[in-house]
Amino acid sequence: NSVKFADKSFTEIMCHAAGAHFLNPHIRSIIDIGGQDSKAILLDDNGKVKNFVMNDKCAAGTGRFLEVMARAMEVSLDEFGTMSIKSKNPSKISSLCTVFAESEVISLIAKGEQRQDIIAGIHESIASRISSMVGRVGIKEPVMI
């Protein structure tokens, strides 16, 4: 009984909100792109969760998605950003599912598309997915990522 709240439980979403509010009480939105899931969280003026959406059913839009794509392309994750910036014509990655997106990437490689364009397309795919999540929950500035 030395810890007052030892018998209570807190969700990851609640902890994100509390941490963001502690670091900056003005934060109203949180975007978290993790290894296994992604979240968009809207906070009220007191730092409490007003609304949130979470992508936890598939790896698309997560760090794991990037790892799978890097492996499929035989490129290290460290090189992804540098290569993506060099893109002049990002490839279109339309699959939301990691398995299908991996097949799509392999097909683009086989067609001879530039690796930097494929990687830029992967980044745009993730950005689009996160943007859609944020659109569903709403966003209010300032935002913590």
Q: Considering the entire predicted model, what is its pTM?
A: 0.82
Contact (CB, 8 A) for 131 and 38: no
Q: Give the mean pLDDT of 28-44.
A: 93
Tell me what pLDDT residue 137 has. 94
CATH code (residue 93): 3.30.420.40
Encode pLDDT of 52-80 as tens digits: 999 866 766 788 889 999 999 999 999 99
Q: What is the pLDDT of residue 122?
A: 93
Residue pair 31/137 in contact by the 8 Å Cβ criterion? no
Quote the domain boundaries for residue 50: 12-57
In a domain, 138, yes or no: no
Considering the domain architecture, whether residues 74 and 98 belong to the same structural domain is answered as yes
How many whole angstroms from its chain centre is CA 59?
Answer: 9
pLDDT over 90 at 44, yes or no: yes
pLDDT on residue 64? 87
Residue 117 CA to residue 91 CA, distance in Å, equals: 5
In a domain, 79, yes or no: yes
Which of 22, 41, 57 is a domain's end point?
57
